[in-house]
């Protein structure tokens, strides 16, 4: 007897429906259980798990011939999520499950030897793919039900054991559909406690102003200064001034973390913007993603959030140079011999580093011990094309002792965040209906002509600046984007001369454009 059960393969961030075709031959004289259709080792091992799970669930597993085909056969099948559909297929092919109960349903889950279902990664994108293909029901492990229910418009049934599922499909002991609680959907109102508040940072008002602009327009920023002046501290405060995730953004980020299997237990939905700070010893595949089974890298895990690269100069040059394309296109494509996978990578880059190997070049309190050649070699680790893709370059000096010892509090992150949110609201209205545009930092050359209108005085300053500073076309466009954000923070529709002048101040001073 032939039984067809539907599962789902995970390809990048997308789910692709897989037909699990099980053919049972009761006349076979030699017991055999074959799985075909490009299964990997984890899928091949499911044969033994399925046998034990069925028997330990007090069900029958006749020792005859089984042939399981995972169709389409040209897609490599990875992971243990096929355990449940293979087991259901074997039971349906041996008349232990009614075939009518399998229609419009998808089955996902790893089986233990005692028949209980275990968590599998990537549940959300797989259920999302099933919903897009018109499936009405999804049977998933109880642990993954909350994550699967976020997709919506598809019934999710949490399954604890294989025996419980069989009783449900016969209508003997129905499993209740999972309904997500409002707490899961709404999330906490407070920001994470580990965030640094701007009010706790002494001095550095001009740096905090730059970070506010960066957050308001999603502009990449580079901080350079001696050790101990607060570069890392201020970078870790930036998530506290970013606007909250919208529902669509939260689901988008959650899909990435579901594929990477990095969602916290009991927290199926990402409510806060991610903050990723990889160590400078990370490899290029670890940063942009990759592997034999392509998975998201740090730049995709920082999607809609902050990617903080401390000790920027110490990162391998191969890792830094692969950032150039994602910084422009907001996506990263990983090409392999069998497929090309695209992951989103729209992040706010905050890069921090010292100006020289000893860290004190240009410091007013401590003399630098590096030779000019050592300083030049150290700074040349960052290529011109990479620096040209960073909107803001800010020098972070040593904090004056008077400000460091002062008892007064600076402006809090709550007030700064309010201004950032107001600026983002202006940008949302501006880019309404434009796909792929969320903030000023996402604008392309054509968008600049439409929304970056300069006043006559600002146009004169722009002409002078381009000539004297020898700005490239890309550098000039980034100045316009920054000017647009500065104007949005003030709620002014046109770009005035003071907005443009401030934006020009954030261009690098030690490089030729």
All structural domains of the chain with their residue ranges: 2-180, 198-434, 443-513
- CA geometry: angle at 263 spanning 255 and 154, to 5°? 50
CA 464 to chain centre: 40
Round to whole Å and give the CA distance between 357 and 376. Answer: 10
CB 159 within 8 A of CB 139: yes
Query: Residue 401 has what pLDDT?
Result: 78
CATH number of 198-434: 3.40.50.300
Closest Cα partner for 218 from 352, 348, 391, 388? 348
Q: Which of 363, 306, 339, 295 is nearest to 79 (CA)?
A: 295
Query: Residue 23's pLDDT is what?
Result: 96
Is there a contact between 507 and 230 (Cβ–Cβ < 8 Å)?
no
Burial call 423-448: b when 16+ CB within 10 Å, e when fewer: bbebbeebbeeeeebbbbbbbeeebb
In this chain, the answer to whether the domains covering 2-180 and 443-513 adopt an identical fold is no
Q: What is the pLDDT of residue 190?
A: 64
* Predicted TM-score (pTM) of this structure: 0.90
CA distances from 162 to 314, 342, 434, 510 (A): 52, 35, 47, 66
Cis peptide bond prior to 334, omega within 30° of 0: no
Question: How buried is residue 450: exposed, middle or buried, by Cβ count under 10 Å (0-12/13-18/19+)?
Answer: exposed
Instruction: Among 1.10.4160.10, 1.10.8.60, 3.40.50.1820, 1.10.730.10, name the CATH number for the domain at 443-513.
Output: 1.10.8.60
Low-confidence ranges of the chain (pLDDT < 70): 185-191, 337-338, 509-513
* pLDDT at site 188: 57
| 381 CB neighbour count, 10 Å cutoff | 15
The three-class DSSP label of residue 290 is strand
CATH fold for the domain made of 2-180: Ribosomal Protein S5; domain 2 (3.30.230)
The whole-angstrom separation of Cα 228 and Cα 450 is 43
Structure letter (DSSP) for residue 199: G
């Amino acid at each position: 007897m032939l039984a067809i059960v539907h599962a789902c393969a995970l390809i990048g961030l997308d789910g692709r429906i897989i037909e699990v075709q099980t053919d049972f031959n009761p006349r076979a004289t030699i017991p055999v259980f074959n799985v075909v259709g490009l299964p990997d080792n984890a899928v091949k091992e499911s044969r033994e798990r399925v046998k034990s799970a069925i028997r330990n669930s007090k069900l029958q597993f006749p020792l005859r011939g089984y042939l399981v085909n995972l169709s389409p056969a040209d897609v490599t099948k990875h992971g243990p999520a096929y355990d449940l559909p293979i087991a259901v297929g074997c039971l349906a092919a041996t008349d232990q499950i009614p075939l009518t109960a399998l229609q419009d349903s998808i089955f996902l889950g790893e089986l233990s030897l005692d028949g209980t279902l275990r968590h599998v990664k990537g549940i959300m994108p797989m259920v999302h793919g099933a919903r897009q293909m018109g499936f009405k029901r999804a049977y998933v492990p109880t642990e993954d039900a909350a994550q699967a229910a976020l997709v919506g418009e598809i019934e999710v049934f949490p399954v604890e054991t294989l025996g419980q599922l069989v009783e449900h499909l016969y209508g003997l002991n129905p499993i209740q559909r999972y309904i997500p609680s409002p707490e899961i959907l709404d999330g906490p109102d407070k920001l994470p406690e580990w965030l640094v508040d701007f009010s706790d940072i002494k001095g550095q008002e001009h740096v905090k102003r730059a970070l506010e602009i960066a957050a308001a327009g999603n502009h990449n920023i580079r901080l350079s200064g001696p050790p101990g002046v607060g570069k890392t501290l201020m970078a870790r405060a930036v998530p506290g001034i970013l606007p909250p995730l919208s529902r669509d953004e939260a689901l988008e980020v959650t899909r990435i973390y579901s594929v990477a299997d990095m969602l916290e237990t009991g927290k199926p939905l990402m409510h806060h913007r991610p903050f990723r700070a990889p160590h400078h010893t990370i490899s290029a595949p670890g940063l942009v993603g990759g592997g034999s089974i392509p998975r998201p890298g740090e730049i995709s895990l920082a999607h809609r959030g902050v990617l903080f690269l401390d000790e920027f100069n110490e990162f391998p040059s191969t890792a830094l140079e692969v950032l150039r394309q994602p910084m422009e296109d907001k996506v990263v494509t990983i090409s392999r011999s069998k497929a090309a996978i695209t992951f989103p990578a729209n992040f706010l880059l905050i890069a921090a580093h010292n100006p020289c190997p000893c860290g004190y070049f240009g410091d007013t309190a401590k003399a630098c011990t590096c030779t000019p050649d050592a300083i030049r070699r150290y700074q040349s680790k960052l290529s011109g094309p990479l620096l040209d893709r960073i909107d803001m370059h800010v020098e972070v000096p040593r904090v004056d002792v008077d400000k460091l010892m002062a008892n007064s509090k600076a402006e809090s992150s709550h007030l700064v965040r309010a201004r950032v949110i107001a600026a983002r609201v202006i940008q949302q209205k501006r880019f309404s209906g434009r796909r792929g545009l969320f903030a000023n930092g996402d604008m392309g050359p054509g968008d600049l002509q439409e929304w970056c209108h300069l006043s006559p005085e600002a146009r004169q300053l722009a002409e002078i600046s381009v000539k004297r500073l020898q700005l490239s076309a890309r550098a000039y466009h980034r100045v316009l984007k920054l000017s647009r954000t500065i104007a949005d923070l003030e709620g002014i529709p046109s770009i005035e001369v003071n907005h443009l002048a401030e934006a020009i101040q954030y261009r690098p001073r030690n490089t030729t454009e």
